Structure 1
Amino acid sequence: MTQPAPAAALPPCPITGRPALRRVHGVAASTLRGLWRHGQGVDVDRLLDGTTSLGLYESDCGLMFFDPLIAGDGRFYADYYARQKIHLHLSRLAATRSDFLQAASHIPRGARVLDVGAGSAAFRQHLAHADYRGLDPYADHDDPAIHRESLEEHAARHAGEYDAVCAFHVIEHLAMPLQAARLMARLLKPGGLLILAAPLHPSPLTEIPNLPLNLPPHHLSWWNPRAFSALAGALGLEVREACALPPSPHAGLVYWIHRLLPLRSSPPPDERYVAHRLRWHLSLLIAYGLARCIAPVMPLPAGARPIDAFLVARKSA
């Protein structure tokens, strides 16, 4: 059973700054190195150098976060995306992404929109009715609609210029999510909308044990509507929508891995999501192999559980 730790020993929540509610469990850095090396073919030794362990914590606002918050850098993502062809996969299925569809439904005609962490600018196809701009310092192609600069640089020059600022599956990668969200809010006009999507907890995604893509240095935090509402409150924004979204077709592989797992992560009271357990490694390997065969030919069933949290929050007029 997870033992409560003294408040002074608990790290601050990245949103509220208050001490975490509890320490869920520890994660050996050697386990993370092995999961990334053998599960994704990516070497993270450089990023974890000097770190022996991390902790997974729960905030009183519902956010789950790792500490220390060790984020991937440009070199890490260049290697990871090149190996996994993630942007190609997401772009191919962009027309049916539930986060894109839900976000586009909130954006009025003629709005000026900034897509933070734009990648291949896949969201643009949903915004024929709006003025689209992307922001991505690591964009690997020339596109006049994408600014290749950091959020800090862009906010310094374009404060108050956008009707909507969107970030799809970006905030969970950041070591300082509140500061990044504050910069996004600064870019908004009065009455503008901040629209965010991130991995949901609890969900099938967090019930898959030892899943590298949901762990540092890739995902540093797991979100839910309550955590997103707390973020909006910390920014002084009015929550328009905070919810869990139906899964998108591109999540079919995750759905089938979860469905076919012989063993899942441990629920409370012995809650655990990451551990060097042979049974867990074998369980994930079996489910992944089967899911790779099934996902391309079996669509997501109706009523599949959500894996994304979603926020729409409005800046005061």
Structure 2
Amino acid sequence: MPERTCPACQADDTEAVESVDRADLIRSYRQKGIDVSTYLPNSSLTLCRCKHCELGFFAPVCAGDGPFYEQLQTQEWYYQDDKPEYAHAAKLVREDCSLLEVGCGKGAFRAWLPESVRYTGLEFNDEAVQKARAAGLDVSKQPVEDHVAEDRRYDVVCSFQVLEHVEHPKQFFHACVEALKPGGTLMMVVPAQDSFLAIAPNSPLNMPPHHVTRWTDRALTNLAHSEGLRKADIWHEPVADFHKEWHATTLAYHALARFGVYRPRLIDNSTHYRLLGRIVRIPALREYLRRAALKMSPGLEVGHTVMLIAS
């Protein structure tokens, strides 16, 4: 039996949501040019949900390592310099403050900030660290837990699309909070489990070894409050232009599920799914189903990403 203690709040009150067959997940990743066979257990994976804090997590844990992310780096679509969350986060950063970005990649977020900001980045990928340093950025290959142990403190600590990848999110989040000066601001950005992403079928990148946890708004705010952060606001991005077709297709399937003609699954290779795909590829029918889905589930109008702003 996989360990099913919540990795965020340590509660044992968790439930199994759905199992994913190992072979199906390997096949889904291979369709994207990624081999995950060495990272997955020999058994199936189980998506679990914590009844206490609402975190979604996979058991057993199987997070990707450096070579796994090196595979992803070869994909043109993986790293983006222009993200809606960068624009929103930059508005919250004042002039002449100190800022730590955890998991900074090549430091793309720095370009969005005022020149007076004193920027520090942490990153594990050697190639990304080299690119950041070549651009004149102060970026180190160091875990945030080690960084904060050096008594380094900042006005702002931010992390974009990292928390969902780490095996021990509670420890990671705690270290990010510890890196704040008194009264500082934490910005934590993750894929939104309260968005269409939660119901998108055949999305292997939202599963191990890439994403090992799934964060609702409540799971994020609960984690912030557990660390003594009293103010915790949530921002959802609008649907990005490059996600609009995916969003519409996902909502179309959701409408079909609500109508009782489709049963959602994390990985679905069934003939029934493929036949329904012919329907959702018809623009007029897809738009009708999209609108129907939003009438039934208005919250699905938001985009892929959510940001926690806490202090």
Equivalence for 1:32: 25
Distance 1:271 1:13, change over 3 A: farther
Q: Is the 8 A contact 2:3 2:59 kept in 1?
A: no
Opposite residue 121 of structure 1, the aligned amino acid is: G
Q: Is the 8 A contact 1:258 1:287 kept in 2?
A: no
Q: Distance in 2 between matches of 1:283 and 1:125?
A: 45
Residue 67 (structure 2) aligned to one of 75, 78, 90: 75
Q: Distance in 2 between matches of 1:237 and 1:280?
A: 47
Offset from partner CA, 1:157-183 (integer Å, 9 cap, x none)? 2x3421111011110011111110111
Classify the secondary structure of the residue corresponding to 1:107: coil
Distance 1:279 1:44, change over 3 A: same
Classify the secondary structure of the residue corresponding to 1:183: helix
TM-score (norm 2): 0.81
Classify the secondary structure of the residue corresponding to 2:198: coil
1:57 is aligned to 2:45: no
Q: Is the 8 A contact 2:102 2:157 kept in 1?
A: yes
Q: Distance in 1 between matches of 2:97 and 2:279?
A: 44
Q: Distance in 1 between matches of 2:279 and 2:235?
A: 29
Residue 277 (structure 1) aligned to one of 262, 265, 269: 269
1:206 is aligned to 2:195: no
Q: Distance in 2 between matches of 1:72 and 1:78?
A: 10
1:137 is aligned to 2:124: yes
Displacement of 1:290: 9.8
1:235 is aligned to 2:235: no
Bigger drift between 188-197 and 303-312 goes to 303-312
Opposite residue 69 of structure 2, the aligned amino acid is: Y
Distance 1:290 1:114, change over 3 A: farther
Q: Runs of 5+ in structure 2 lacking a partner?
A: 284-299
1:197 is aligned to 2:189: yes
Displacement of 1:257: 2.0
Classify the secondary structure of the residue corresponding to 2:174: helix
Equivalence for 1:173: 165
Q: Distance in 1 between matches of 2:279 and 2:169?
A: 32
TM-score (norm 1): 0.79
Q: Distance in 1 between matches of 2:223 and 2:176?
A: 12
Equivalence for 1:99: 85
Q: Is the 8 A contact 2:253 2:280 kept in 1?
A: no
The structure 1 segments of at least 4 consecutive aligned residues displaced by more than 4 Å after TM superposition are 264-272, 283-291
Displacement of 1:245: 2.7
Offset from partner CA, 1:20-53 (integer Å, 9 cap, x none)? 4421111111111111112x111111111x4311
Q: Percent of aligned pairs with the same residue?
A: 28
Q: Runs of 5+ in structure 1 lacking a partner?
A: 1-7, 292-302
Opposite residue 54 of structure 1, the aligned amino acid is: L
Equivalence for 1:162: 154
